[in-house]
A and B are shown apart, each in its own frame.
Chain A
Amino acid sequence: MKLETLRELNAERAARRPVIVITDTANGEQRLVKAKDFAADPLNAELSKALRMGKSTNVEVGGNKLFLNVYAPTAKLVIIGAVHISQALAPLARSLDYDVTVVDPRTAFASPERFPDVPLVAEWPDVALPPLNVDHYTAFVAVTHDPKIDDPALLHAFERDCFYIGALGSRKTHAKRGERLRAQGAKESDIARIHAPIGLDIGAVSPSEIAVAIMAEITATLRLPPKEKEVAA
């Protein structure tokens, strides 16, 4: 690997931007492709699939065997609301390798006794969220049921282009939320990005089951190609 390739790779990784390094294993020839340049690349389909699956793989192109090494950032999960569902959701997400943070300004909820070993921020979203560096590789879940907490958090998630945004509440609750967010300047396309009611429809009843439904929906959003995603939703 050329030093400049290694430098570029490390810089992209530090900035949490996904890249794939393509190596011709017969002769060591190599090139680095940033995710933003996939669309213009002749290997677009292969690169996009490998990144979506987060899996390094081999492809054969014109008789050459190429190794695609995927460098995807660790996905984060930000949970707004230290509620009962979150107590099940946080450990489940951690077992799926997400970096989990729970945010809730209500200290009675955001207590270490209720969330052992989970990073907790007992602050309002305007204080809690900026230091978390919420980005595209972040799944964002708002489950407090309190518009004073959920709404500003969701506006932050829109701004940071999170790959998944979900919010707890029935269709009726969600319609009201849409009105409030619109009044605060949210675009129609932003509101359409919110998964609500949250989670895949698996008939979840208990908080743990709802947590499974949420993580299933996040996984589908992360791994399925965009078209199938719409079918699943």
Chain B
Amino acid sequence: MLNRDEDILKAAEDWQKAGHGVALATVVETWGSAPRPAGSSLVINDEGTFLGSVSGGCVEGAVVTEALDVISSGQPRMLEFGVADETAWNVGLSCGGTIRVFVEKVG
């Protein structure tokens, strides 16, 4: 918890300065054995490049897809992933936990 996301937020700032659309995805809540704690974040630009992690790899693909929508719409959204999720077979958390991820546009 002490050392995290060191360069990710700086990258978000740099991408934005370079003229990219940028979104920030942050784990805001976890239940059960979630792989990454609340506060973990992922930054995504409009080319689909991303840095950081919200789940250690389990659901990043889905988060990136949603983030691209958020970049175009500008509207923040809340995502939830877990074994109970209908997409669990595809992008659920194999660890059995549930996480909520807040995705917002930067800028």
Chain A residues engaging chain B, CB cutoff 8 angstroms: 1-3, 6-7, 9-10, 13, 23, 25, 27-28, 54-58, 67, 69-70, 72, 74-75, 97-98
Closest B residue to A99 by beta carbon equals B3
Give CA–CA (A2, B10) in the complex, Å.
14
Taking a contact as CB atoms under 8 Å apart, the answer to whether B39 and A70 are in contact is yes
Give CA–CA (A2, B13) in the complex, Å.
10
Taking a contact as CB atoms under 8 Å apart, the answer to whether A75 and B39 are in contact is no
A56: chain B residues within 8 A (beta carbon): 28, 37-39
Taking a contact as CB atoms under 8 Å apart, the answer to whether B26 and A6 are in contact is no
Taking a contact as CB atoms under 8 Å apart, the answer to whether A67 and B2 are in contact is no
Taking a contact as CB atoms under 8 Å apart, the answer to whether A97 and B2 are in contact is yes
Taking a contact as CB atoms under 8 Å apart, the answer to whether B106 and A67 are in contact is no
Taking a contact as CB atoms under 8 Å apart, the answer to whether B104 and A1 are in contact is yes
Minimum CB–CB distance from B52 to chain A (whole Å) comes to: 13
Give CA–CA (A10, B8) in the complex, Å.
10
Closest A residue to B23 by beta carbon equals A1
What is the total number of residues of chain B having a CB less than 8 Å from a CB of chain A? 23
A-B contacts besides A25-B28, A28-B104, 5 pairs, CB < 8 Å: A2-B107, A9-B9, A54-B2, A55-B39, A72-B2
Give CA–CA (A70, B16) in the complex, Å.
23
Listed residue (A1, A7, A55) with the most chain B CB atoms within 10 angstroms of its CB: A1
Taking a contact as CB atoms under 8 Å apart, the answer to whether B3 and A97 are in contact is yes
Contact digits for B70-102, partner A, Cβ 8 Å, 1 yes 0 no: 000001101000000000000000000000001
Minimum CB–CB distance from B29 to chain A (whole Å) comes to: 6
Taking a contact as CB atoms under 8 Å apart, the answer to whether A57 and B38 are in contact is yes
B38: chain A residues within 8 A (beta carbon): 55-58, 67, 69
- Chain B residues numbered 32-81 whose CB sits less than 8 Å from any CB in chain A: 37-39, 75-76, 78
B104: chain A residues within 8 A (beta carbon): 1, 23, 28
17 pairs, A vs B, C-beta closer than 8 Å: A2-B106, A3-B13, A10-B10, A10-B13, A25-B28, A25-B76, A54-B2, A55-B38, A55-B39, A57-B38, A58-B38, A67-B29, A69-B38, A69-B39, A72-B1, A97-B2, A97-B3
